[in-house]
Amino acid sequence: MAKLIAYCGLDCAECAGYQATQADDLEAKERVAAQWRVEYNAPSIDVQAVTCDGCTSDKRLGSYCAECGIRACSRERGYANCAACPDYACEQLQGFFAMVPGAKLTLDGLRSMV
């Protein structure tokens, strides 16, 4: 599967919600929602919350993606992802990277290609 790099450096194509959405598989989305309710201690997660076309999309966004400050900032500045930002790696990204170091590796790799 081709990579779909989010603004923050995550690969949306690896997300179970994205995969179930693209497969148009309601049962898979229900399983993902049930897993995420437990994993994130978030009882409000439902099928709609895991329905997503990737955060760089203007279509359907998962519940958190629509609220993500990193996504909002990069879109406001007109960047394909945060690797292109002159303020890389800002405080907001550094906090995210502390939780998801793989995202930093992805964005660092993109920065090295410029």
- Inter-helix orientation angle 69-77/91-99, to 10°: 140
Whether 103 and 8 have beta carbons less than 8 Å apart is answered as yes
Which pLDDT band holds residue 74 (cuts at 50, 70, 90)?
A: very high
pLDDT in tens, 27-55: 999 999 999 999 989 999 999 999 999 99
- pLDDT score for 1: 62
Mean pLDDT of the chain: 93
> At residue 11, what are phi and psi to the nearest 5 degrees?
-100, 105
**CA–CA distance, 31 with 48 (Å, rounded to integer):** 12
Would you kindly state where each structural domain of the chain is located, as residue ranges?
12-112
DSSP type of residue 80: S
Two tokens, residue 14:
């690896």
